Structure 1
Amino acid sequence: MGTRDAIRQNPVVTFGLLFVVGWTALVALGVAAGAKFPEYGDWVGRHGVGGIVGLAVLATFLILAIAVLGELGETGPAPEEWPPE
């Protein structure tokens, strides 16, 4: 199914995924802006190590969401029927 067909057949899912991707990117920018440089002994509140871990988790989620969005545009056929005829 092409991307155009995916949007025609599943507009709520497509726009929902686009919203999630955009929202995740904005949250990642907020985390990057709020994290301090990692320093030894500065572990109260927002700190650098927490910011790095948060960005890693958000990046992983963003990659998975983009992969799901890419699957909507997959042109390959559906899985084979089982048992084969």
Structure 2
Amino acid sequence: MSRQSISLTRPNDEWLKAQVESEEYSSKSEVVNDLIRKAREVEEIRKKLIAAEESGFSDRTPEQIRADAKAKLKNAASV
């Protein structure tokens, strides 16, 4: 693992300490890594939403969309 040195504001440092003290995490590093993982997940969702918005509107009915989604799930399960 890579080691980094970072400077924190007092409120952020106190919040990190509180997370460890609450036994939610075992170390500040664990908290920071979890925050980064969550930020990366949010970024992936954001990218997918932007791509969906840019793809335009569909002429399909909600029933057609549901049927297509069910078919894709069924095909994925059989693979």
Say which structure is richer in helix. Answer: 2
Give the TM-score of the pair, scaled to structure 1.
0.38
Give the TM-score of the pair, scaled to structure 2.
0.40
Greater C-alpha Rg = 2
